[in-house]
Structure 1
Amino acid sequence: MIKFLFFLFFLFNNAYSQTLTGKVTDSLDNPLESANVIAKPLQQNASIKFAIADNKGRYKLELEKDVRYEIRVSYIGFVEETFIYEPNSEIKTYDFKLKPTGIDLKEVIINHKYEPIVIKKDTLVYDVKAFTTGNERKLKDQLEKLPGVEVDKDGGVTVQGKRVTKFLVENKSFFGGGTKLGVENIPADAVDKVEVIDNFNEVGFLKQVSDSEDLAMNIKLKEDKKKFVFGDVEAGAGNDSYHLLHAALFYYSPKTNLSFIGDINNIGKQTFTFQDLMRFQGGVSSFISGRKSLTNLYSFTSENKDVVENKSQFAALNFSHELSTKLDVSGFALFSKLFTATQNETALEYLQTETLETRTQNGNNRSLLGLGNVKLDYTPNKDEKWYYNAQYQSSANDAFSLLNSVSLNNQNTFETLREADNSSVKQYTEWHKSISKNHTTTLVVNHAYENNVPQNQWLTNQPFLAGLIPLEEDENYQIAQLKKVKSNSVDALFKHYWILNNFNHIYTNVGNNFGTTALQTSERQFLSNGTINDFAENGFGNDIDYRLNDAFVGIEYKFKIGKWTNKPGIYGHWYQLKTKQFEQDVMHSTFLLQPQFNSEYEFNQSESLRFNYRLVNQFPEASQLAERFTLQSYNSVFRGNALLNNERYHSAMLNYSKMSMYRGLMVNAFANWNKKVRTLRNTVELDGINQFTMPILTDNPETNFRVGGSVSKKIYRFNLRLNTSLSWFDYIQEVNGIETANSRNNQNIGVELRTAHKSWPFVKVGFTKGFNTFSGITSSKFETNQFSAEIDHEIIKNISFKADYEAFTNLNFTNPNTFFEIANASVTYQKKNSPFGFEFMVSNLLNNQTINQNSFSDFLISEQTTFILPRIFQFVVRYKL
């Protein structure tokens, strides 16, 4: 079979194309890496071909037969050379030897008629028209056709295996820098070029000294889209009152940019991802890390199609304006209103007690979110930069669930009501100054305030958590819980960059992180006779004031030896942790050294190896130190531990990347290793399905090791991609007073084949095999098979067909196997020059009712069945501005 496939590839290749290879060198035979090789057809109905020379100067062109080409080679600082390639030529190799221009310029501008890809030191520029057909609707459709670019179903973008963390349009941050809103809303016909910038830094003069891990994608618009409104509006209606209204409107001018995205739907369309929301709710300087938000906003971005009902309203506005040549203002605002209804059935096995539980749960959730952010960018001169950013956020969550739990001879039905009102204010100021050629300074001050008031109620007609909560006998049981959490933090950092010479830098850091949390909890039982049973008399109810101060000083030495760059560093941290609970103070003070080491070896411009290591100390949060009981759920009680101290772990990461246009090969690989030598882990006591947990600090080691990567190879007009992700996690868990060595192993290996020719239909098929094992008190194992396929094709002029299919199989070795499949399809009619477009689409084409998932934790194995939205037909009318 494999031999037959290779025979077909060979047959196609010889029937429709011919290959020209060679080298690009200078007059001394030194290879010119990243030289552009452009083959322009000298007749109609043929496409331009291109190649980028690799680190050895090699190039490869796949040329069409019976076509005459003008091949042009260019490289900065050298004179262009051209070569006429005759149709069906016998020439198979041709070397280009470029002559220097003899002009030494600091900046050279080269005007080519065509450059499909330009590769610089850390920038990759795609000319999208080289890879697209013109039938694409959104930026996402274009990105999926660019070599080395992947777009996942949540709108996340990776380039050569590295995830895009900053998203820009015309060099301006787009909706906080998240990718989803951009890739799914920017019209394809507005995009001219896509720039990918590694080691991105907003401050230009910091780029040579600040080792940023950010990968930015900057969208360059066509000239005719920069001075007027563009975008599209669409409306759809379908069966059973399903509907969709969506607008994406943009205005770009030299001084003012505006973007609006609005969406109303009840079809489970996910407007933005949890990662984007985390960016929206950030409001924290990128120089400050380690602050955790107390607000849980996951309900706004959960997979909204895994529900039985969904109603969503969303609006977002992004703006930027140049107030003067020195001052810019930018920001965004968003509003979200979401209602979801869920239905789940779960089978659980508690490993220690060998208890089985079956849960049936129905629930709904109503969520409101409002958020506003404004940023001032002040540049008094080319050597100084100021930023001020302020953000306000408010959210409200109301949830109701009806849970039926059956275990042994017990059957309980619980009604759970949850309400949470949350608000936060976050702001930061940054100052950056280039004092001289060799000295640069950064000062950052960050402030954040959060106020969260979650309330929970449990209602049932049966007693529960016997022996763990002090229930009084009653006809019906109503338990109310109130939490109040206020947190404040102020962080300051002063950083100085000293460039000794081109090969040696010294960076000094001085800073202080100060945070406080006031946490109060209370649980009470409301009796039928009107009296109240306050659990505080039985060890419940917390009132803790928490303060953690981290004063630190550090030095980093960056040096370069040939192609090898290293940056060892050492930080001294003076931690002071103080807690006050019921008039009892606990104070802990310690000085800790935390080394780190970063290293990169650059084989050439398209191949590198990176290594990062650091020693981390992490202190417990206020909830972990609260020493009285807290009711967590209908079968779980938690108690903190006031005597906890910091946990310590080693973290190391190794990354390898290689891109060879000559071989059509892209390789990305990683290995992550984390080892905890002092560990915070919850001990668990089980009684049937009831759980009591408490954190303890131990010297038991925990090791987490992950390796993975992908290899992509272009074979004729196809791209073949292999990817894998392997993880091993070993730790010790205490359950019912018994310590057990546990191991969780997960391996996923996948293969994907897609077409890679702009005139062919876009077809992608993939298969992923997963292996999941757990060993501890008992052993568990299951496997997964996932098959996926996509097609996007203009079947006849102006009519496009798009479909995707996914089949998922759980192979469980103790229970029956489960299988589900999901398919979606659409047909679009759009004339090239018409503003109107029409689409008929079907989601959940096979009308699958449920999806199934298997998982395991420290002490239980679960199999969950989730009910989902039914088949939905929709007719959509679209108008393009």
Structure 2
Amino acid sequence: MKQFYITLFLGLGILCSKINAQNVRVEGVVKDSLNAPLELANVLALNPEDQSIQSYAITDESGRFALSLPNNKTYKLKVSYLGYKTKEEDLVIGDSREKIFKEIVLFKDVNALDEVEVVQELPISVRGDTIVYKADAFTNGKEKKLKNVLEKLPGFEVDKNGDVKVQGKKVDKVLVEGKKFFDGDTKLATKNIPADAVDKVEVLQDFNEVEPTRGLNNEESLALNIKLKDGKKNIVFGDLAASIGHDERYFGHANVFYYSPKKSLNLIADANNIGEQAFTLQDYFRFSGGFSNLAGRSGSSFRVSSDDIGLSLLQDNRAEEIISNFGALNFNLNPNKKWQFSGFLIGSDIDTDLRSSTLRTYLRNEDDNNLEVLESNINQENKSGLFKFTGKYTPSKKLDISYNAFLKKSEIAQANNRLSDFAGVQNSIQSNSEQQPFSINQSFDAFYAKDAKNVFSFQAQHLYKEQDPFYNLITSEVPFNGGLPLIDDNVYNLLQNKEILTNKFDASFNYYYVLNKKNHINFIAGSSLSNQKLVSNIRQRESGTGDENELGGGFLNDADYNFSDIYFGLRYKVKFGSFVVSPGANVHFYNTTDTQQGNENKLSKTLVTPSLFARYSIRKSESLTLNYSVNAEFTDVNNIVLGTVISSYNTLFDGNRNLENQLFHRFVLRYTNFNSFNFTNIFGTLTYTKTIDGINNTVVFNGINQVLSPINSGDVNDVLSANASFEKRFVWFKTKLTGNLSYSSINNTINGLANTNTSFTQNYRLSFETNFRDAPNFEIGFDKTINNYEGSQTDSRFITNAPFANVEVGFLKHFLFTADYVYTDYINRNNDTNNSYDFLNASLFYQKEGSKWEFKVSGTNLLNTVSINRDSFSDFLISTNQYFVQPRYVVFGIKYDL
């Protein structure tokens, strides 16, 4: 395999060199009439017959540009710069392959067209903090969705989860025509917005929806605004698709969009049983409704546990069977310039079957057998709904008032049948988990700019949350090795009820005093108040009579927990030329009280949390940014309860009411550089997190059974990560190399002895991708992951090699063939496991030019691979997992473009 890829890459290198040898390099410089270089001017080489772009360039800080063009042709050279007259001239390239040099002088245009009109012709342009990409300059018309468009733009990445990065920085929001698309969710946008509707993609740096506070904070939020083509405005557009296949397989999907200046409606509907999930359980938990952590901005957080207690989240290609139904409606209404109303309604129903075989290595302090073989069959049913409403009132640029309400409701049930084999003892285990979590989050925000020097803001949030996880455990062997006071029985049937009620109120007041354009001060005052109530009990149901006996005593919980944080802060922001620095500090006064078993436990503490933001703009396309912050995190009621709780079939949990906060020191250094002269894009991020007195679990083993209890370790935990990417674009292809490194050192105790768990993960990815407008396109690459896990008497090493290839071929004018292939070689160095598997997916499309109808036949997992491998690492075990996946599916489909 290695020899094959080396030969292939060498062949591609020779091919590329031959392609370049047939081209002539045209270099030059663009200046103004005063001989000053013009940075970010657009240089286009056009076909004079149809005005199509043959090559383009963006000038660098020295005004330089470079084009690569086939010889023996004549082109129209067009040079544009905002505020200057566009210059056009013929460019004749003959037989000679010698480099051509051009010097272009532009003159100011006192009657310049509106900036927006000029931008429409330019592949890339910059307007302040906004970078605009003309989609048609980078695409070939074969793209299906927004995801395919973004992947062809310089510096863009879209992962399999729909997360988007631009020059290494994650995109927070996606807007369409200036309006948030399903609260800005990148996944729903990239997988559903039709590619042929996209005119331009605007990258909004330092994005801030609130006019009075623009330029005053350091959050560095990044957003994309998708500008639609004129033909997609004021009309209904989208597509309807349906497919059927063998074994009663089906797929149905609908995207319907409508955009006008005063309103927009987006409808997405999906139903299938081939594993194409429009909305996953992870998406449900990820959706926050756009609510930010007010206290977190000032270096403090109170962590409320999520709703997924005891439930598996394994989906996608790790599942044997997935049946998914999904519907979503997004709306934006602007009755006038002062009022805006928006929101969305999302509903999903997902039924998932998972089957896995797991080899677990427990990090115990014994030298004997620490291995468990675990066979699992899981069925998970999830019905969930989300609703958000936003009302916004902006009578002028000085005042911005908004109200938000966000509701989440779900019904989740999981049935898990396991067979455990440890030290020759087999245990048949059945567990059932159920819960119906509900939450409503409301916020009121007001921003007021009294004048250019005085800006005020008030923000308040309230969270009401109900959680009711139920856990039923049935085992053939005595559970937890006698750790519970159970009645002897043939089958042990335990039932655990838990109810958690949370009320959380946050408020923050900010006053910004702008001294001048380069200096301003931010005064902060705020509070965070929370109350949580938790009750739980464990019962044993006798197999003969069905009677239920409550364990009582130390297995009951009735806790009332109050947390308060009153804080005051000061931040200062100053700009020195290309350098911006903003130091700050916050003083927090904490009080916690928990009432359990008839007595109170109180804690009072005062902490100072400093912060620092600094950015050096080396040039418009190159910058270095540093973020440093200290965050004090307090745990919620789940970790302080005194009664024992069942966490899983072999794990009990005892809380610790004496827990204090853990303190995070976090450093983030980010470098970005886009060289418009040679289209090289480089970015890198270095992140270091130092946790002081971290909350870690102590582990006491009894065989494979364990009792966990959280403590403030008193030690320092370190997490260091680094990622970097190098991308270079040529006329018809691009190359990319990325690397991600992550190292962590976490301290805990195992059976009373100090233990340090270390993890070192390395991932490297090299790819080569063509981008011909008419010829077939392909991508090949190699992905390598190395995981090293080390704990008490254990050192494990896992290696995954994954070469991959994708192809897109148009033929006979109306046909398009696409395929993607990945081969995975998985190696577990500890037990000499070496598994190889591969996946091949392919689709054939037929659509006449100008027709609204498209026909396709597609197949997934065409090689009928049965299972895949993954590994994982936690405080007390290392797992090597084999997941059984969905079989081969072939479906025939039809799509109609609205």
Change (3 A) 1:113 1:253: closer
Q: Secondary structure at the match of 1:32?
A: coil
Residue aligning to 1:343: 355
- Residue 166 (structure 1) shift: 0.2
* Paired residue total: 878
Which residue of structure 2 lines up, in the alignment, with residue 166 of structure 1?
173
Write out aligned runs for 1:446-485 (5 A). Answer: 446-485=461-500
**Kept after mapping to 1: 8 A contact 2:589/2:606:** yes
**Is 2:830 the partner of 1:814?**
yes
Cross-structure match for 1:324: 336
The match for 2:3 is none
Q: Distance in 2 between matches of 1:725 and 1:67?
A: 44
Moved more, 88-97 or 504-513: 88-97
Give the structure 2 partner of residue 95 of structure 1: 103
Out of 433, 437, 449, the residue aligned to residue 452 of structure 2 is 437
Shift of 1:680: 1.2
Q: In the alignment, which residue of structure 2 is the partner of 1:421? A: 436
- What is residue 848 of structure 1 aligned with on the other side? 865
Amino acid at match of 1:691: Q
Alignment CA distance shift 1:8-1:460 (3 Å): closer
Match of 2:67 in 1: 61
Secondary structure of 1:817's counterpart equals strand
Moved more, 682-691 or 117-126: 117-126
Taking structure 1 as the reference length, the TM-score comes to 0.96
Query: Is the 2:699–2:750 contact (alpha carbons within 8 Å) kept by the matching residues of 1?
Result: yes
* Aligned residue number for residue 847 of structure 2: 830
Q: Which amino acid aligns with 1:741?
A: T
2:21 alignment partner, SS class: helix
Query: Is the contact between residue 371 and residue 393 of structure 1 (CA under 8 Å) also seen in structure 2?
Result: yes
**Structure 2 CA distance for partners of 1:194 and 1:278, relative to 1, 3 Å:** farther
For residue 694 of structure 1, report the CA deviation from its aligned partner. Answer: 0.7
Instruction: Tell me if the contact between 1:180 and 1:276 (Cα under 8 Å) persists in the aligned partners.
Output: no
Q: Which runs of 5+ in 1 are unaligned?
A: none
The reply on whether 1:311 has 2:323 as its aligned counterpart is yes
Measure the CA separation in 2 of the matches of 1:636 and 1:94: 73
1:551 match: 566
Q: Displacement, 1:787?
A: 1.6
Q: Which residue pairs with 1:492 in the alignment?
A: 507
User: Which residue is equivalent to 2:130?
Assistant: 123
- 1:357/1:245 CA distance change after superposition, 3 Å: same
State the Cα deviation string for residues 743-797 of structure 1 (Å, max 9, x = none): 2111112211111333333311121222221223222212111222111221331
Query: Following the alignment from structure 1 to structure 2, what is the Cα–Cα distance between the partners of residues 311 and 727?
Result: 35
Q: Does structure 2 retain, via aligned residues, the 8 Å contact 1:154–1:273?
A: no
- Report the Cα offset of residue 605 of structure 1: 0.7
1:296 aligns with 2:307: yes
CA distance in 2 between partners of 1:233 and 1:360 (Å): 41
Report the alpha carbon displacement of residue 297 of structure 1 after superposing the two structures with TM. 5.6
What CA deviation, in whole Å up to 9, does each residue of 1:393-444 have, x standing for no partner? Answer: 2111111111111111321111111110111111101111111111211110
Letter in 1 for 2:877: L
* 1:125-173, Cα deviation, whole Å (9 max, x unpaired): 1111112222222222222222222222222222222221101111000
| Structure 2 letter corresponding to 1:814 | N
For residues 161-189 of structure 1, give each alpha carbon's deviation from its aligned partner in whole angstroms, at most 9, with x where no partner exists: 22211011110001111111112111222
Structure 1 residues 34 and 297: alpha-carbon distance in aligned structure 2, compared to 1, 3 A threshold: farther
Letter in 1 for 2:340: D
* Aligned equivalents of 1:634, 1:614: Cα separation in 2: 39
Q: CA deviation at 1:716?
A: 4.9
1:209 partnered with 2:226: no
Aligned in 2, Cα 1:318/1:877: closer, same or farther, shift over 3 Å? same
Tell me, in whole angstroms, the C-alpha distance in 2 between the residues paired with 1:238 and 1:288: 52
Matching residue of 2:155: 148
- 2:886 maps to what in 1? 869
Query: Do the aligned residues in 1 keep the contact of 2:723 with 2:738 (CA within 8 Å)?
Result: yes
- Letter paired with 1:348: R
Residue by residue over 1:216-270, the C-alpha shift from the partner in whole angstroms, topping out at 9 and shown as x without a partner, is 1111111121111111111111010111111111112221211111111011112
Q: Work out whether residues 615 and 650 of structure 1, in 8 Å CA contact, stay in contact via their aligned partners in 2.
A: yes
Cα distance change of structure 1 residues 171 and 297 upon mapping to structure 2, 3 Å threshold:
farther
8 Å CA contact 1:338, 1:368 repeated in 2: yes
Please say which of residues 578-587 and 767-776 is displaced more in the overlay.
767-776
Q: What is the alpha-carbon distance in structure 2 between the residues aligned to residue 237 and residue 507 of structure 1? A: 60
TM-score norm. by structure 2 comes to 0.94
Alignment of 1:730-769 (within 5 A): 730-769=745-784
Code of the aligned partner of 1:296: D
- Corresponding position of 1:681: 696
Correspondence 1:189 to 2:192:
no
**Are 1:362 and 2:377 an aligned pair?**
yes
Distance 2:756 2:287 in 1: 40
- Displacement of 1:83 after TM fit? 3.2
Which residue number corresponds to residue 632 of structure 1?
Answer: 647
In the alignment, structure 1 residue 525 sits paired with structure 2 residue 540? yes
- Is the 1:649–1:678 contact (alpha carbons within 8 Å) kept by the matching residues of 2? no
Cα separation, 1, equivalents of 2:285 and 2:465: 15
Matched with 2:389 is: 374
Cα contact 2:211–2:400 (8 A) shared by 1 = no
Counterpart-to-counterpart distance in 1, 2:293 and 2:71: 53
Change (3 A) 1:429 1:601: same
Secondary structure of the corresponding residue to residue 475 of structure 1: coil
Distance (Å, rounded) in 2 between the aligned partners of 1:49 and 1:749: 31
Quick check: 1:802 aligned with 2:818?
A: yes
For residue 808 of structure 1, what is the amino acid of its counterpart? T
Q: CA shift at 1:112, angstroms?
A: 6.9
Aligned match of 1:536 = 552
Alignment correspondent of 2:250: 243
Once residues 330 and 731 of structure 1 are traced to their aligned partners in structure 2, the CA distance between those partners, rounded to angstroms, is: 44
Q: Which residue in the other structure is 1:86 paired with?
A: 92
Q: Does structure 1 conserve the Cα–Cα contact (< 8 Å) formed by 2:183 and 2:289?
A: no
Deviations 1:788-820 (A, max 9, x none): 211122133111001111122222112221122
Task: Give the Cα–Cα distance (whole angstroms) in 2 for the partners of residues 752 and 781 of structure 1.
Answer: 25
* One of 207, 222, 229 as aligned partner of 1:222: 229
What letter matches 1:591 in structure 2?
T
1:227-306 pair list within 5 angstroms: 227-272=234-279, 276-278=283-285, 280-282=287-289, 284-285=291-292, 287=294, 289=296, 290=301, 292=303, 294-296=305-307, 302-306=314-318
**Alignment identity in percent?**
34
CA RMSD of aligned residues (A): 2.1
Secondary structure of 2:267's counterpart equals strand
Unaligned runs of 5+ in 2: 1-6
TM-aligned CA deviation for residue 861 of structure 1:
2.2
Residue 79 of structure 1: how far off its partner (Å): 3.5
Show CA shifts across 1:468-523 (max 9, x none).
11111012211100000110111001111221112111111111111111111110
CA separation in 2, counterparts of 1:750 and 1:604? 29
8 Å Cα contact 1:807/1:821 also seen in 2: yes
In the alignment, structure 1 residue 647 sits paired with structure 2 residue 654: no
Change in CA separation of 1:480 and 1:641 when aligned onto 2, cut-off 3 Å: same
* Maintained 8 Å contact 2:24/2:99: no
Change in 2 beyond 3 A, CA 1:598/1:275: farther
Give the letter aligned to residue 330 of structure 1. S
Code of the residue aligned with 1:73 in structure 2: it is V
8 Å CA contact 1:269–1:305 kept in 2: the answer is: no
Matched-pair contact (CA < 8 Å) for 1:178–1:276: no
Give the C-alpha shift of residue 546 in structure 1. Answer: 1.0
Higher mean displacement: 219-228 or 24-33: 24-33
Alignment of 1:769-784 (within 5 A): 769-777=784-792, 778-784=794-800
Q: 1:27 to 1:228 in 2, by over 3 A?
A: closer
Write the distance in 2 (CA, Å) between the matches of 1:252 and 1:29. 45
- The one-letter code of the counterpart of 1:640 is G
What is the SS of the residue equivalent to 2:480? coil
Range moving further from structure 2, 759-768 or 395-404? 759-768
- Could you say if the C-alpha distance between residues 32 and 542 of structure 1 is closer, same or farther in structure 2, counting changes exceeding 3 Å? same
State the alpha-carbon separation in 2 of the partners of residues 286 and 386 from structure 1: 19
1:481 touches 1:524 (CA, 8 Å); kept in 2?
A: yes
